[in-house]
Chain A
Protein backbone atom coordinates (compact mmCIF):
# COMPACT_ATOMS: atom_id res chain seq x y z
CA UNK A 1 0.00 0.00 0.00
CA UNK A 2 2.97 2.28 0.36
CA UNK A 3 3.11 2.58 -3.38
CA UNK A 4 0.20 4.99 -3.20
CA UNK A 5 2.33 7.42 -1.30
CA UNK A 6 4.96 7.41 -3.99
CA UNK A 7 2.73 8.25 -6.91
CA UNK A 8 3.17 11.81 -8.08
CA UNK A 9 0.66 11.22 -10.84
CA UNK A 10 -2.39 13.17 -9.87
CA UNK A 11 -0.58 15.05 -7.16
CA UNK A 12 -0.16 18.80 -7.09
CA UNK A 13 3.18 20.38 -6.31
CA UNK A 14 2.77 24.04 -5.39
CA UNK A 15 5.16 26.34 -7.22
CA UNK A 16 5.55 29.73 -8.77
CA UNK A 17 6.50 29.01 -12.35
CA UNK A 18 4.95 30.49 -15.46
CA UNK A 19 2.90 27.38 -15.94
CA UNK A 20 1.65 27.35 -12.34
CA UNK A 21 0.27 30.82 -12.77
CA UNK A 22 -1.69 30.16 -15.91
CA UNK A 23 -5.43 29.90 -15.82
CA UNK A 24 -6.39 26.21 -15.61
CA UNK A 25 -8.72 26.57 -18.57
CA UNK A 26 -6.01 27.49 -20.99
CA UNK A 27 -3.85 24.68 -19.67
CA UNK A 28 -6.74 22.28 -20.00
CA UNK A 29 -7.30 23.39 -23.57
CA UNK A 30 -3.63 23.07 -24.45
CA UNK A 31 -3.27 19.65 -22.90
CA UNK A 32 -6.41 18.38 -24.61
CA UNK A 33 -5.26 19.58 -28.03
CA UNK A 34 -1.82 18.13 -27.39
CA UNK A 35 -3.18 14.76 -26.35
CA UNK A 36 -5.43 14.45 -29.37
CA UNK A 37 -2.69 15.47 -31.80
CA UNK A 38 -0.09 13.18 -30.30
CA UNK A 39 -2.52 10.32 -30.54
CA UNK A 40 -3.02 10.76 -34.28
CA UNK A 41 0.39 11.73 -35.58
CA UNK A 42 2.22 9.36 -37.83
CA UNK A 43 5.67 10.66 -38.39
CA UNK A 44 8.83 10.64 -36.36
CA UNK A 45 9.46 14.25 -37.26
CA UNK A 46 6.21 15.41 -35.68
CA UNK A 47 6.95 13.16 -32.74
CA UNK A 48 10.24 14.87 -32.10
CA UNK A 49 8.63 18.30 -32.44
CA UNK A 50 5.90 17.46 -29.96
CA UNK A 51 8.48 15.81 -27.78
CA UNK A 52 10.42 19.03 -27.57
CA UNK A 53 7.20 20.87 -26.74
CA UNK A 54 6.80 18.57 -23.74
CA UNK A 55 10.38 19.29 -22.77
CA UNK A 56 9.77 23.03 -22.97
CA UNK A 57 6.68 22.66 -20.78
CA UNK A 58 8.64 20.80 -18.13
CA UNK A 59 11.37 23.40 -18.17
CA UNK A 60 8.94 26.32 -18.03
CA UNK A 61 7.12 24.69 -15.13
CA UNK A 62 10.46 24.30 -13.33
CA UNK A 63 9.60 20.72 -12.58
CA UNK A 64 12.37 18.47 -11.49
CA UNK A 65 12.87 15.69 -13.98
CA UNK A 66 13.22 13.30 -11.11
CA UNK A 67 9.69 13.97 -10.06
CA UNK A 68 8.20 13.52 -13.48
CA UNK A 69 10.24 10.38 -13.83
CA UNK A 70 8.72 8.94 -10.64
CA UNK A 71 5.29 9.25 -12.16
CA UNK A 72 6.28 7.43 -15.26
CA UNK A 73 8.84 4.82 -14.42
CA UNK A 74 6.24 2.36 -13.22
CA UNK A 75 4.94 2.11 -16.73
CA UNK A 76 8.26 1.62 -18.45
CA UNK A 77 7.84 -2.15 -18.72
CA UNK A 78 4.63 -1.62 -20.65
CA UNK A 79 6.35 0.80 -22.98
CA UNK A 80 9.10 -1.70 -23.57
CA UNK A 81 6.56 -4.40 -24.22
CA UNK A 82 4.75 -2.27 -26.77
CA UNK A 83 8.02 -1.48 -28.46
CA UNK A 84 9.00 -5.12 -28.76
CA UNK A 85 5.54 -6.15 -29.85
CA UNK A 86 5.47 -3.80 -32.75
CA UNK A 87 9.07 -4.39 -33.69
CA UNK A 88 9.14 -8.14 -33.54
CA UNK A 89 5.63 -9.36 -34.01
CA UNK A 90 4.20 -6.74 -36.32
CA UNK A 91 7.43 -5.96 -38.03
CA UNK A 92 6.67 -2.25 -38.15
CA UNK A 93 9.78 -0.43 -37.17
CA UNK A 94 8.29 3.00 -37.11
CA UNK A 95 5.23 2.03 -35.14
CA UNK A 96 7.51 0.35 -32.66
CA UNK A 97 9.06 3.70 -31.93
CA UNK A 98 5.94 5.78 -32.27
CA UNK A 99 3.50 3.96 -30.09
CA UNK A 100 5.50 3.75 -26.89
CA UNK A 101 6.68 7.32 -27.46
CA UNK A 102 3.10 8.52 -27.77
CA UNK A 103 2.20 6.86 -24.51
CA UNK A 104 5.30 8.35 -22.97
CA UNK A 105 4.50 11.88 -24.08
CA UNK A 106 0.89 11.52 -23.02
CA UNK A 107 2.00 10.57 -19.53
CA UNK A 108 4.58 13.33 -19.35
CA UNK A 109 2.06 15.97 -20.35
CA UNK A 110 -0.63 14.71 -17.98
CA UNK A 111 1.82 14.48 -15.12
CA UNK A 112 3.14 17.96 -15.81
CA UNK A 113 -0.37 19.29 -15.91
CA UNK A 114 -1.44 17.75 -12.65
CA UNK A 115 1.79 18.76 -10.93
CA UNK A 116 1.18 22.39 -11.82
CA UNK A 117 -2.55 22.62 -11.34
CA UNK A 118 -4.08 22.42 -7.89
CA UNK A 119 -7.28 20.40 -7.49
CA UNK A 120 -8.97 23.63 -6.49
CA UNK A 121 -7.95 25.23 -9.79
CA UNK A 122 -9.07 22.24 -11.73
CA UNK A 123 -12.47 22.27 -10.14
CA UNK A 124 -12.73 26.00 -10.70
CA UNK A 125 -12.08 25.42 -14.38
CA UNK A 126 -14.65 22.66 -14.50
CA UNK A 127 -17.07 24.89 -12.61
CA UNK A 128 -16.74 27.69 -15.14
CA UNK A 129 -17.07 25.32 -18.04
CA UNK A 130 -20.19 23.75 -16.64
CA UNK A 131 -21.88 26.92 -15.46
CA UNK A 132 -24.05 27.37 -18.54
CA UNK A 133 -25.63 24.04 -17.64
CA UNK A 134 -27.22 25.67 -14.62
CA UNK A 135 -29.77 27.20 -16.94
CA UNK A 136 -30.84 23.71 -17.85
CA UNK A 137 -31.52 22.97 -14.17
CA UNK A 138 -28.51 20.67 -13.90
CA UNK A 139 -27.39 20.68 -10.24
CA UNK A 140 -23.92 21.94 -11.08
CA UNK A 141 -23.37 23.47 -7.64
CA UNK A 142 -24.12 20.24 -5.86
CA UNK A 143 -21.94 18.20 -8.21
CA UNK A 144 -18.99 20.52 -7.84
CA UNK A 145 -19.27 20.52 -4.09
CA UNK A 146 -19.35 16.74 -4.03
CA UNK A 147 -16.35 16.63 -6.35
CA UNK A 148 -14.37 18.97 -4.15
CA UNK A 149 -15.14 17.13 -0.95
CA UNK A 150 -14.33 13.81 -2.62
CA UNK A 151 -10.93 15.15 -3.66
CA UNK A 152 -10.35 16.48 -0.18
CA UNK A 153 -11.17 13.13 1.40
CA UNK A 154 -9.33 10.99 -1.08
CA UNK A 155 -6.20 10.74 1.09
CA UNK A 156 -8.38 9.81 4.06
CA UNK A 157 -10.14 7.13 2.08
CA UNK A 158 -6.78 5.81 1.01
CA UNK A 159 -5.88 5.67 4.67
CA UNK A 160 -9.13 3.83 5.40
CA UNK A 161 -8.28 1.36 2.66
CA UNK A 162 -4.86 0.96 4.20
CA UNK A 163 -6.44 0.30 7.59
CA UNK A 164 -8.82 -2.29 6.18
CA UNK A 165 -5.91 -3.86 4.36
CA UNK A 166 -3.91 -4.07 7.56
CA UNK A 167 -6.90 -5.39 9.46
CA UNK A 168 -7.14 -8.18 6.91
CA UNK A 169 -3.43 -8.84 7.27
CA UNK A 170 -3.75 -8.92 11.03
CA UNK A 171 -6.45 -11.58 10.70
CA UNK A 172 -4.03 -13.64 8.69
CA UNK A 173 -4.79 -12.72 5.11
CA UNK A 174 -1.75 -13.33 3.01
CA UNK A 175 -1.23 -10.91 0.18
CA UNK A 176 2.23 -12.04 -0.69
CA UNK A 177 2.62 -14.74 -3.27
CA UNK A 178 0.75 -14.92 -6.51
CA UNK A 179 -2.43 -16.68 -5.50
CA UNK A 180 -4.75 -14.69 -7.71
CA UNK A 181 -7.82 -16.56 -6.62
CA UNK A 182 -7.06 -15.81 -3.00
CA UNK A 183 -6.53 -12.17 -3.84
CA UNK A 184 -9.92 -11.98 -5.44
CA UNK A 185 -11.61 -13.56 -2.46
CA UNK A 186 -10.04 -10.95 -0.22
CA UNK A 187 -11.11 -8.15 -2.51
CA UNK A 188 -14.69 -8.42 -1.26
CA UNK A 189 -13.99 -7.65 2.41
CA UNK A 190 -11.49 -5.00 1.35
CA UNK A 191 -14.01 -3.19 -0.83
CA UNK A 192 -16.78 -3.67 1.70
CA UNK A 193 -14.59 -2.20 4.42
CA UNK A 194 -13.68 0.85 2.35
CA UNK A 195 -17.27 1.29 1.30
CA UNK A 196 -18.51 1.20 4.87
CA UNK A 197 -15.80 3.62 5.99
CA UNK A 198 -16.69 6.00 3.16
CA UNK A 199 -20.38 5.84 3.99
CA UNK A 200 -19.70 6.61 7.62
CA UNK A 201 -17.72 9.67 6.65
CA UNK A 202 -20.40 10.74 4.22
CA UNK A 203 -23.08 10.54 6.89
CA UNK A 204 -21.11 12.66 9.34
CA UNK A 205 -20.25 15.17 6.66
CA UNK A 206 -23.85 15.49 5.57
CA UNK A 207 -24.93 16.31 9.11
CA UNK A 208 -22.14 18.85 9.54
CA UNK A 209 -22.74 20.53 6.21
CA UNK A 210 -26.50 20.63 6.52
CA UNK A 211 -26.20 22.07 9.98
CA UNK A 212 -24.27 24.94 8.47
CA UNK A 213 -27.04 25.79 6.03
CA UNK A 214 -25.47 24.36 2.94
CA UNK A 215 -26.39 26.09 -0.29
CA UNK A 216 -24.92 24.59 -3.46
CA UNK A 217 -24.89 27.60 -5.69
CA UNK A 218 -23.20 30.00 -3.39
CA UNK A 219 -19.70 30.96 -4.44
CA UNK A 220 -17.32 29.06 -2.17
CA UNK A 221 -13.67 29.99 -2.08
CA UNK A 222 -13.85 32.11 -5.16
CA UNK A 223 -14.39 29.73 -8.00
CA UNK A 224 -15.45 32.81 -9.87
CA UNK A 225 -12.11 34.44 -9.38
CA UNK A 226 -10.50 32.84 -12.38
CA UNK A 227 -9.28 35.39 -14.85
CA UNK A 228 -7.50 34.80 -18.07
CA UNK A 229 -4.73 37.10 -19.15
CA UNK A 230 -2.50 37.64 -22.15
CA UNK A 231 -0.33 34.71 -21.15
CA UNK A 232 -3.33 32.43 -21.47
CA UNK A 233 -3.88 33.93 -24.89
CA UNK A 234 -0.39 32.87 -25.77
CA UNK A 235 -1.18 29.36 -24.58
CA UNK A 236 -4.23 29.16 -26.79
CA UNK A 237 -2.04 30.46 -29.59
CA UNK A 238 0.46 27.70 -28.97
CA UNK A 239 -2.30 25.12 -29.09
CA UNK A 240 -3.39 26.55 -32.43
CA UNK A 241 0.20 26.48 -33.53
CA UNK A 242 0.44 22.79 -32.75
CA UNK A 243 -2.60 22.16 -34.93
CA UNK A 244 -1.12 24.18 -37.74
CA UNK A 245 2.11 22.25 -37.59
CA UNK A 246 0.19 19.05 -37.75
CA UNK A 247 -1.85 20.27 -40.67
CA UNK A 248 1.20 21.53 -42.44
CA UNK A 249 3.21 18.38 -41.99
CA UNK A 250 0.43 16.06 -42.94
CA UNK A 251 -1.07 17.80 -45.98
Chain B
Protein backbone atom coordinates (compact mmCIF):
# COMPACT_ATOMS: atom_id res chain seq x y z
CA UNK B 1 0.00 0.00 0.00
CA UNK B 2 1.44 3.28 -1.04
CA UNK B 3 1.62 6.09 1.51
CA UNK B 4 1.14 9.64 0.29
CA UNK B 5 1.32 12.88 2.23
CA UNK B 6 -0.15 15.80 0.33
CA UNK B 7 0.46 19.29 1.74
CA UNK B 8 -0.14 18.09 5.27
CA UNK B 9 -0.06 20.68 8.02
CA UNK B 10 -0.62 20.30 11.74
CA UNK B 11 -0.05 22.29 14.88
CA UNK B 12 -0.14 21.17 18.49
CA UNK B 13 -3.35 21.76 20.35
CA UNK B 14 -3.16 23.22 23.79
CA UNK B 15 -3.71 26.38 25.75
CA UNK B 16 -0.64 28.14 24.47
CA UNK B 17 0.09 28.10 20.77
CA UNK B 18 3.37 26.35 19.96
CA UNK B 19 6.24 28.32 18.53
CA UNK B 20 6.43 26.35 15.29
CA UNK B 21 3.70 24.19 13.83
CA UNK B 22 4.39 20.45 14.10
CA UNK B 23 4.08 19.89 10.36
CA UNK B 24 4.17 22.47 7.61
CA UNK B 25 2.83 21.54 4.17
CA UNK B 26 4.57 18.20 4.15
CA UNK B 27 4.36 16.22 0.93
CA UNK B 28 5.99 12.88 0.30
CA UNK B 29 5.40 9.47 -1.24
CA UNK B 30 6.43 6.13 0.19
CA UNK B 31 6.04 3.33 -2.35
CA UNK B 32 4.69 0.00 -1.24
CA UNK B 33 7.31 -2.27 0.29
CA UNK B 34 9.89 0.40 1.01
CA UNK B 35 11.72 0.54 4.33
CA UNK B 36 11.91 4.20 5.26
CA UNK B 37 13.53 5.84 8.29
CA UNK B 38 12.27 9.13 9.71
CA UNK B 39 14.92 11.12 11.54
CA UNK B 40 15.28 14.54 13.07
CA UNK B 41 15.42 16.33 16.39
CA UNK B 42 12.62 15.85 18.88
CA UNK B 43 9.71 18.12 18.03
CA UNK B 44 10.77 18.20 14.39
CA UNK B 45 7.62 16.47 13.26
CA UNK B 46 8.68 12.89 12.69
CA UNK B 47 6.50 11.36 15.41
CA UNK B 48 3.55 13.50 14.38
CA UNK B 49 3.89 12.40 10.77
CA UNK B 50 4.18 8.78 11.84
CA UNK B 51 0.99 8.99 13.86
CA UNK B 52 -0.93 10.31 10.90
CA UNK B 53 -0.33 7.19 8.90
CA UNK B 54 -2.79 5.30 11.06
CA UNK B 55 -4.94 8.32 11.81
CA UNK B 56 -4.06 8.61 15.48
CA UNK B 57 -3.53 12.24 14.64
CA UNK B 58 -5.58 13.93 11.93
CA UNK B 59 -4.08 16.67 9.77
CA UNK B 60 -5.36 20.24 10.13
CA UNK B 61 -5.09 20.64 6.39
CA UNK B 62 -3.98 18.48 3.52
CA UNK B 63 -4.49 14.80 3.14
CA UNK B 64 -2.72 11.55 3.92
CA UNK B 65 -3.51 8.60 1.69
CA UNK B 66 -2.65 5.07 2.63
CA UNK B 67 -3.61 2.76 -0.20
CA UNK B 68 -7.28 3.48 -0.71
CA UNK B 69 -7.76 5.11 2.67
CA UNK B 70 -7.93 8.86 2.90
CA UNK B 71 -7.07 10.64 6.12
CA UNK B 72 -7.90 14.28 6.56
CA UNK B 73 -9.32 16.65 9.11
CA UNK B 74 -12.78 15.27 9.04
CA UNK B 75 -12.23 11.62 8.35
CA UNK B 76 -13.81 9.07 10.65
CA UNK B 77 -13.99 5.34 11.09
CA UNK B 78 -10.42 4.28 10.99
CA UNK B 79 -10.88 0.73 12.15
CA UNK B 80 -10.12 -0.85 8.78
CA UNK B 81 -7.13 1.40 8.28
CA UNK B 82 -5.65 0.40 11.59
CA UNK B 83 -5.81 -3.24 10.70
CA UNK B 84 -3.71 -2.49 7.67
CA UNK B 85 -1.32 -0.12 9.42
CA UNK B 86 0.29 -1.49 12.56
CA UNK B 87 1.80 0.98 15.00
CA UNK B 88 4.42 0.17 17.63
CA UNK B 89 4.68 2.82 20.33
CA UNK B 90 7.93 3.85 21.88
CA UNK B 91 6.79 2.59 25.22
CA UNK B 92 5.40 -0.90 24.73
CA UNK B 93 3.73 -0.87 28.14
CA UNK B 94 1.00 1.29 26.69
CA UNK B 95 0.18 -1.31 24.11
CA UNK B 96 0.11 -4.53 26.05
CA UNK B 97 -3.33 -5.14 27.41
CA UNK B 98 -3.66 -8.83 27.94
CA UNK B 99 -2.76 -10.61 31.13
CA UNK B 100 -0.69 -13.04 29.11
CA UNK B 101 1.24 -12.58 25.89
CA UNK B 102 -1.07 -14.94 24.03
CA UNK B 103 -4.26 -13.23 25.22
CA UNK B 104 -2.83 -9.86 24.35
CA UNK B 105 -2.30 -10.98 20.76
CA UNK B 106 -5.87 -12.23 20.65
CA UNK B 107 -7.07 -8.75 21.61
CA UNK B 108 -6.26 -7.44 18.17
CA UNK B 109 -7.29 -10.60 16.36
CA UNK B 110 -10.81 -10.60 17.72
CA UNK B 111 -11.60 -7.60 15.61
CA UNK B 112 -10.91 -9.51 12.44
CA UNK B 113 -14.01 -11.59 12.90
CA UNK B 114 -12.39 -14.91 12.10
CA UNK B 115 -12.78 -18.32 13.71
CA UNK B 116 -11.11 -19.24 17.00
CA UNK B 117 -8.91 -21.71 15.23
CA UNK B 118 -7.69 -19.19 12.67
CA UNK B 119 -7.00 -16.70 15.46
CA UNK B 120 -4.91 -19.23 17.27
CA UNK B 121 -2.99 -20.04 14.13
CA UNK B 122 -2.20 -16.42 13.41
CA UNK B 123 -1.27 -15.74 17.02
CA UNK B 124 1.16 -18.63 17.16
CA UNK B 125 2.74 -17.77 13.84
CA UNK B 126 3.12 -14.13 14.90
CA UNK B 127 4.92 -15.21 18.04
CA UNK B 128 7.25 -17.46 16.08
CA UNK B 129 7.95 -14.67 13.66
CA UNK B 130 9.19 -12.35 16.39
CA UNK B 131 11.19 -15.09 18.02
CA UNK B 132 9.10 -15.62 21.14
CA UNK B 133 8.38 -19.31 21.29
CA UNK B 134 4.80 -20.22 22.04
CA UNK B 135 5.70 -22.82 24.64
CA UNK B 136 7.86 -20.44 26.60
CA UNK B 137 5.99 -17.17 26.41
CA UNK B 138 2.31 -17.75 25.73
CA UNK B 139 1.27 -17.74 29.36
CA UNK B 140 3.70 -15.18 30.65
CA UNK B 141 2.43 -11.77 31.71
CA UNK B 142 3.78 -9.14 29.30
CA UNK B 143 4.90 -6.96 32.19
CA UNK B 144 7.33 -9.58 33.39
CA UNK B 145 9.26 -9.53 30.15
CA UNK B 146 12.55 -7.73 29.59
CA UNK B 147 12.57 -4.55 27.48
CA UNK B 148 13.48 -6.33 24.25
CA UNK B 149 11.03 -9.16 24.83
CA UNK B 150 8.23 -6.70 25.55
CA UNK B 151 8.85 -4.96 22.26
CA UNK B 152 8.68 -8.26 20.49
CA UNK B 153 5.49 -9.23 22.28
CA UNK B 154 3.90 -5.94 21.27
CA UNK B 155 5.14 -6.49 17.73
CA UNK B 156 3.61 -9.97 17.68
CA UNK B 157 0.26 -8.49 18.65
CA UNK B 158 0.52 -6.11 15.74
CA UNK B 159 1.81 -8.60 13.19
CA UNK B 160 -0.90 -11.12 13.97
CA UNK B 161 -3.48 -9.04 12.12
CA UNK B 162 -1.16 -9.02 9.10
CA UNK B 163 -0.79 -5.34 8.38
CA UNK B 164 0.58 -4.07 5.07
CA UNK B 165 2.37 -1.20 6.74
CA UNK B 166 4.33 -1.14 9.98
CA UNK B 167 5.06 2.17 11.72
CA UNK B 168 7.50 2.04 14.63
CA UNK B 169 8.26 4.93 16.96
CA UNK B 170 11.82 4.50 18.27
CA UNK B 171 11.48 0.75 18.69
CA UNK B 172 14.97 0.33 20.09
CA UNK B 173 15.02 3.11 22.68
CA UNK B 174 16.07 1.97 26.11
CA UNK B 175 17.29 -1.40 24.86
CA UNK B 176 20.79 -2.77 25.30
CA UNK B 177 22.93 -3.04 22.15
CA UNK B 178 22.29 -6.73 21.58
CA UNK B 179 18.52 -6.39 21.78
CA UNK B 180 18.71 -3.42 19.47
CA UNK B 181 20.47 -5.46 16.84
CA UNK B 182 17.93 -8.25 17.20
CA UNK B 183 14.94 -5.96 16.70
CA UNK B 184 16.58 -4.36 13.71
CA UNK B 185 17.30 -7.72 12.12
CA UNK B 186 13.68 -8.69 12.70
CA UNK B 187 12.44 -5.58 10.94
CA UNK B 188 14.64 -6.17 7.95
CA UNK B 189 13.44 -9.74 7.74
CA UNK B 190 9.81 -8.64 7.81
CA UNK B 191 10.43 -6.16 5.05
CA UNK B 192 12.28 -8.69 2.91
CA UNK B 193 10.10 -11.74 3.50
CA UNK B 194 6.64 -10.21 3.77
CA UNK B 195 7.12 -7.07 1.71
CA UNK B 196 5.74 -5.00 4.57
CA UNK B 197 6.20 -1.27 4.12
CA UNK B 198 8.12 -0.04 7.13
CA UNK B 199 8.26 3.48 8.55
CA UNK B 200 10.85 3.55 11.31
CA UNK B 201 11.26 6.62 13.50
CA UNK B 202 14.65 6.86 15.20
CA UNK B 203 17.55 9.08 15.98
CA UNK B 204 20.20 6.41 15.68
CA UNK B 205 22.06 6.76 12.41
CA UNK B 206 23.48 3.22 12.56
CA UNK B 207 19.93 1.91 12.35
CA UNK B 208 18.81 4.39 9.74
CA UNK B 209 21.43 3.35 7.23
CA UNK B 210 20.07 -0.19 7.31
CA UNK B 211 16.86 0.99 5.70
CA UNK B 212 16.17 1.80 2.04
CA UNK B 213 15.60 5.50 2.44
CA UNK B 214 16.08 8.23 5.02
CA UNK B 215 13.85 11.26 5.53
CA UNK B 216 15.13 13.96 7.84
CA UNK B 217 12.44 16.18 9.34
CA UNK B 218 13.23 19.41 11.13
CA UNK B 219 10.85 22.11 12.25
CA UNK B 220 7.93 20.48 10.53
CA UNK B 221 9.51 20.12 7.11
CA UNK B 222 11.29 17.41 5.18
CA UNK B 223 14.80 18.76 4.95
CA UNK B 224 16.49 15.73 3.41
CA UNK B 225 15.22 12.76 1.42
CA UNK B 226 17.94 10.35 0.36
CA UNK B 227 18.21 6.69 -0.57
CA UNK B 228 20.75 4.84 1.51
CA UNK B 229 22.30 3.49 -1.66
CA UNK B 230 23.01 6.99 -2.87
CA UNK B 231 26.56 8.34 -3.15
CA UNK B 232 26.02 11.51 -1.23
CA UNK B 233 24.12 9.89 1.63
CA UNK B 234 26.62 10.94 4.28
CA UNK B 235 27.10 14.41 2.88
CA UNK B 236 23.36 15.00 3.12
CA UNK B 237 23.09 13.55 6.61
CA UNK B 238 25.90 15.62 8.04
CA UNK B 239 24.46 18.69 6.31
CA UNK B 240 21.43 18.16 8.51
CA UNK B 241 23.56 18.24 11.62
CA UNK B 242 23.15 14.56 12.38
CA UNK B 243 25.92 13.00 14.42
CA UNK B 244 28.12 10.95 12.14
CA UNK B 245 29.18 7.58 13.62
CA UNK B 246 32.87 7.17 14.51
CA UNK B 247 33.65 4.67 11.75
CA UNK B 248 32.39 7.11 9.19
CA UNK B 249 34.47 9.93 10.62
CA UNK B 250 37.55 7.72 10.48
CA UNK B 251 36.78 6.85 6.88
CA UNK B 252 36.44 10.48 5.96
CA UNK B 253 39.80 11.30 7.59
CA UNK B 254 41.46 8.42 5.76
CA UNK B 255 39.94 9.38 2.43
CA UNK B 256 41.20 12.90 2.98
CA UNK B 257 44.73 11.67 3.63
CA UNK B 258 44.48 9.45 0.61
CA UNK B 259 43.15 12.26 -1.49
CA UNK B 260 40.48 10.09 -3.04
CA UNK B 261 37.54 7.96 -1.86
CA UNK B 262 37.95 4.26 -1.23
CA UNK B 263 37.28 1.90 -4.07
CA UNK B 264 35.13 -0.41 -2.00
CA UNK B 265 31.63 0.40 -0.78
CA UNK B 266 31.76 0.57 2.99
CA UNK B 267 28.54 0.94 4.91
CA UNK B 268 29.14 -0.50 8.33
CA UNK B 269 31.74 -0.63 11.07
CA UNK B 270 32.55 -4.24 10.31
CA UNK B 271 33.02 -3.51 6.63
CA UNK B 272 35.55 -0.80 7.40
CA UNK B 273 37.40 -3.09 9.78
CA UNK B 274 37.48 -5.87 7.20
CA UNK B 275 38.64 -3.45 4.54
CA UNK B 276 41.51 -2.17 6.67
CA UNK B 277 42.55 -5.71 7.59
CA UNK B 278 42.68 -6.53 3.91
CA UNK B 279 44.79 -3.46 3.30
CA UNK B 280 47.24 -4.51 6.00
CA UNK B 281 47.67 -7.88 4.37
CA UNK B 282 48.20 -6.27 0.98
CA UNK B 283 50.83 -3.98 2.42
CA UNK B 284 52.58 -6.87 4.12
CA UNK B 285 52.62 -8.87 0.92
CA UNK B 286 53.88 -5.80 -0.87
CA UNK B 287 56.82 -5.58 1.54
CA UNK B 288 57.79 -9.21 1.37
CA UNK B 289 57.39 -9.57 -2.37
Contact = CB atoms under 8 A, between A and B. Distances in A.
Contact of B94 (A5, A164, A174): A164
Given A5-B15, A11-B15, A171-B95, A166 B56 contact: yes
Contacts of B158: 171
A172 interface: yes
Interface residues of B, number: 27
Contacts of B91: 163
A169 interface: yes
Contacts of B51: 166
A163 B97 contact: no
Interface of A: 2, 5, 11, 160, 163-164, 166-172, 174, 176, 189, 192-193, 196-197, 200
B76 interface: yes
Nearest to B13: A5
Interface stretch (B29-37, B79-87, B220-228): B79-87
Contacts, number: 54
Nearest to A177: B77
B159 interface: no
Nearest to A8: B15
* Majority secondary structure, A binding face: helix
B157 interface: yes
Contacts of A163: 89, 91, 94
Contacts of B89: 163, 166-167, 170
B76 A170 contact: no
A5 B14 contact: yes
A196 B97 CA distance: 11
8 contacts: A2-B13, A163-B91, A163-B94, A169-B78, A171-B108, A172-B83, A192-B97, A196-B143
